[in-house]
Amino acid sequence: MSYHSPSNPKNAPPSNRQFLLVIGMFLGAIAVFFWLFKLLLNGIIMIIPLEVEQQLGTVIVPTYEQQAKPSPQQNTLNQLLDRLEANLPSPQHSQRDYQVLYIPESTVNALALPGDKIVIYQGLIEKVKSENELMMVLGHELGHFAHRDHLRGLGNALLIRVSLGFFLGDLGIFQIPVGNSIEAIANAQYSQSQEKQADAFGLTLLNKTYGHVAGATDFFTRLSQEENNSLSFFSSHPASQQRIKKLEQLIKENNYPILDRSSLPKVLTNVSKNN
């Protein structure tokens, strides 16, 4: 009985080996291109003038403004945000006008949008039990502004389009419709390091605002038991237990005090009944 050894690229005919080598080099070139372009894009994002970012906001924000009509809840959220903003470092405070857009929908999520807008959904407000943990969420979103993470969703969309355009030769693919830009922001998935940076920023801001960090981990502790549910918050954020562990480590390292929590403003309690 004759024996046939299993197929192996090393035993392939010379022409096949050359073909596999070319394919490997092509795929390697794509990977290198993606890496270099993303590196360049991240560098550009960090130096985009504030005026350009604000102009981008005029294109994206109106879609959310239509859903967020003026309300007592939105006014209260902006008053809370003003308290945090007063404690921001100068680079994150100068020439900025942060505002909350409150959307009365059951989605459990918060978004940072170009144009200094923070979107807070009713579903998230229904989950918080104290003013402190709500301020931690707002501080976290301000952290995304500080590190310009809110622009990276658009950057990733641009990366994919430019890469496809480069390799497929389709110049029209460089154009990103407004609808796609909004979707890229809404579905932005930040990296673990970006989320941890934003958490650390929010923690520092919480301590500056209250003189302690009570409530810093409450929101994540409560939601950690719901991560198997289809909550929008967890489609764009890492597992809560990881965040809790890192926050507890930072609290210990910085010797932050933990005192009494402040009650949630009355207008934000039972929000489902107030809308």
Question: CA 221 to CA 228: how far, in whole Å?
Answer: 14
Tokens of 257: 């005090």
Q: Which domain holds residue 212?
A: 48-274
85 and 139 fall within a common domain = yes
Assigned domain for 5 exists: no
Contact 102, 71 (CB under 8 A): yes
185 and 219 fall within a common domain = yes
Categorize the per-residue pLDDT at 48 as very low, low, confident or very high, splitting at 50, 70 and 90.
Answer: confident
56 and 99 fall within a common domain = yes
248 has pLDDT over 90: yes
90 has pLDDT over 60: yes
**Full strand arrangement of the beta sheet holding 99-103:** 99-103, 117-121, 110-113
Percentage of residues of the chain with pLDDT beyond 90: 43
Averaged confidence pLDDT in the chain: 80
Assigned domain for 3 exists: no
Q: Which residues are catalytic?
A: 141
Question: CA 214 to CA 223: how far, in whole Å?
Answer: 17
Which residues are paired to 101 by β-bridges? 119
Assigned domain for 7 exists: no
Give the pLDDT confidence of 127-148 residue by residue, as tens digits. 999 999 999 999 999 999 998 8
Assigned domain for 23 exists: yes
Categorize the per-residue pLDDT at 193 as very low, low, confident or very high, splitting at 50, 70 and 90.
Answer: confident
Percentage of residues of the chain with pLDDT beyond 70: 69
Question: CA 51 to CA 95: how far, in whole Å?
Answer: 10
Contact 264, 129 (CB under 8 A): yes
Contact 103, 125 (CB under 8 A): no
For range 144-170, the mean pLDDT: 66
Ramachandran sector of residue 113 (left: φ over 0; alpha: ψ -120 to 50; beta: rest): beta
Categorize the per-residue pLDDT at 236 as very low, low, confident or very high, splitting at 50, 70 and 90.
Answer: very low
Tokens of 205: 């801001």
Ramachandran sector of residue 136 (left: φ over 0; alpha: ψ -120 to 50; beta: rest): alpha
pLDDT of 47 reads: 75
Query: Which helix (H) or strand (E) covers residue 273, if one does?
Result: helix 271-274
34 and 57 fall within a common domain = no
Q: In total, how many domains does the chain have? A: 2
Is the pTM value of this prediction over 0.85?
A: no
Q: Which of 103-112, 158-167, 202-211, 240-249 has the lowest mean pLDDT?
A: 158-167
25 and 150 fall within a common domain = no
